[in-house]
């Protein structure tokens, strides 16, 4: 179900490709491997209430000190009024993935969007206090569908907050940013350009 403010599916897919391409070009050591459209089983987990959820993309990050998986959520928006709602759901998904699946405990979770958050929280959206408040909010039905009635551990939230990334790649930035794109079987110059131009015809 689309959230109010979020762009349509085709444009959202183009944003996802642009976000991934920009992250790969600008974050040394990051390589995307899967998207939910191509291999959903590689980006999916089970909620504590028995349903399934997915991240939009999954890759790896390597530097001289560590190697970990990256699970990312991409949100292309026409306006930011509901972006915080999407971010709250992302936090619940990241918490479940990092605590209920031991192999993902040290992995990183990235939230990527093209619009600033319509709030005055700033970098506090990655703080332990904010994340604890979101995960402990019993009135948020979306978060509760992911977390169920399970306990939220303060130490595990603290560890998760060290591995959260929030990227705001505005439309004007994407228009000028260097991008990296791995050609897939069946790709042509026309199909690649069409994806990055939000599905508009390419002449």
Could you tell me which residue, 9 or 51, shows the higher pLDDT? 51
Q: Is residue 2 part of a domain?
A: no
Q: Is the pLDDT of residue 22 over 80?
A: yes
Could you tell me which residue, 178 or 96, shows the higher pLDDT? 96
Q: Is the pLDDT of residue 28 over 80?
A: yes
**Confidence category of residue 121, pLDDT binned at 50, 70, 90:** confident
Give the residue-averaged pLDDT of 28-45.
Answer: 92
Q: Is residue 45 part of a domain?
A: yes
Q: Is residue 54 part of a domain?
A: yes
Q: Is residue 174 part of a domain?
A: yes
Q: Is residue 3 part of a domain?
A: no
Domains: count for the chain: 1
**Contact call for residues 166 and 2 (beta carbons, < 8 A):** no
Instruction: Give the DSSP letter of residue 131.
Output: H
Closest listed residue to residue 109, CA positions, set 28, 47, 66, 55: 55
Closest listed residue to residue 61, CA positions, set 33, 95, 97: 33
**Contact call for residues 38 and 56 (beta carbons, < 8 A):** no
Instruction: Tokens for 156, please give them.
Output: 């595990």
**Contact call for residues 133 and 95 (beta carbons, < 8 A):** no
Q: Is the pLDDT of residue 180 over 80?
A: no
**Confidence category of residue 202, pLDDT binned at 50, 70, 90:** very low
Domain of residue 38 covers 9-196
Closest listed residue to residue 200, CA positions, set 60, 8, 1, 39: 8
Give the residue-averaged pLDDT of 132-154.
Answer: 92
| Class of residue 160 by CB neighbours under 10 A (exposed 0-12, middle 13-18, buried 19+) | buried
C-alpha to C-alpha distances, 189 to 12, 62, 98, 193, nearest whole angstrom? 20, 30, 38, 6
Q: Is residue 123 part of a domain?
A: yes
Q: Is residue 1 part of a domain?
A: no
Q: Is residue 105 part of a domain?
A: yes
Q: What's the pLDDT score for residue 193?
A: 55
* pLDDT tens digits for range 40-98: 999 999 999 999 999 999 999 998 888 999 999 999 887 777 889 999 999 999 999 99
Q: Where are the beta strands (DSSP E) in 7-66?
A: 30-35, 44-46, 52-54, 57-62
CA 86 to chain centroid, in Å, comes to 10
Residue 38, Ramachandran bin (φ over 0: left; ψ between -120 and 50: alpha; else beta): alpha
Q: What's the pLDDT score for residue 45?
A: 96
Q: What's the pLDDT score for residue 200?
A: 44
Instruction: Tokens for 76, please give them.
Output: 């292309």
């Amino acid at each position: 179900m689309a959230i109010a403010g979020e762009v349509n599916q085709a444009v959202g897919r183009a944003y996802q490709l642009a976000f991934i391409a920009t992250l790969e070009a600008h974050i040394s050591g990051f390589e995307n491997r899967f998207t939910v459209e191509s291999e959903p089983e590689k980006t999916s987990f089970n909620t504590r209430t028995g349903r399934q959820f997915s991240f939009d993309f999954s890759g790896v990050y390597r530097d001289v000190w560590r190697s970990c998986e990256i699970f990312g959520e991409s949100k292309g928006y026409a306006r930011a009024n509901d972006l915080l709602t999407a971010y709250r759901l992302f936090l619940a998904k990241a918490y479940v993935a990092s605590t209920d699946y031991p192999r993902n405990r040290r992995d990183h979770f990235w939230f990527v969007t093209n619009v600033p958050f319509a709030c005055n929280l700033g970098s506090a959206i990655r703080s332990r206090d904010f994340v604890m408040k979101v995960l402990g909010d019993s009135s948020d039905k979306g978060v509760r569908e992911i977390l169920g009635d399970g306990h939220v551990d303060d130490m595990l939230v603290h560890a998760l907050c060290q591995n959260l990334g929030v990227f705001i790649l505005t439309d004007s930035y994407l228009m000028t940013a260097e991008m990296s794109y791995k050609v897939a079987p069946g790709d042509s110059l026309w199909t690649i350009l069409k994806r990055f131009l939000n599905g508009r015809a390419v002449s």
